[in-house]
Amino acid sequence: MELTHLNKDNQPVMVDVGDKRVTRRTATAQAAVLFPPGLLDRLERTADGEQRSPKGPITQTAILAGIAAAKKTSELIPLCHLIPLDNCRVEIRTQGSDQLLIQCIARATHKTGVEMEALTGAAIAALTVYDMCKALSHRIVIENIRLIEKTGGKSDVHDDAH
């Protein structure tokens, strides 16, 4: 297998996407945040149902952090292209009694994919949930950060297990 980010001298290089076609690219990534038993139930809730920790509204803060991170992916991960996102959405929902499931959907019309943006958005949203709740427990676990779907490039990906 040829590694695309190494030159003939085995030195890191950015992939040249100059000759690629511009297409609509979409990627969906997911992360799970697992809480110790009963912790989610003990969180304060606002009148509109938003869960709050001692630091403030958990979901709203994590959504904003995930979107901001997706927009800054090229600053965080070496050799990622700067991609102007057409849209980025972070969705957080409770799954079972002790888990939050985070999805980040990134879209761009560009020459290269947005899977790293979606993965970064999901990961940072999960880390933000941890940060918002760590005063309550350090036994919170982030797991299963993964790409669910990517479309628009030369190879689409669909996670059939999802």
112 φψ region: left (φ > 0), alpha (ψ -120 to 50), beta (else):
beta
Q: Is 41 helix (H, G, I), strand (E, B) or coil?
A: helix
Buried b (16+ CB within 10 A) or exposed e, 15-42: eeeeeeeeeebbbbbbbbbbbeeebbee
Active site residue 131: yes
Which one of 9, 19, 48, 131 is the catalytic residue?
131
Decide if 35 contacts 137 (C-beta within 8 A): yes
C-alpha span between 72 and 64 (Å, rounded): 13
Decide if 91 contacts 37 (C-beta within 8 A): no
* Residues recognised as catalytic: 131
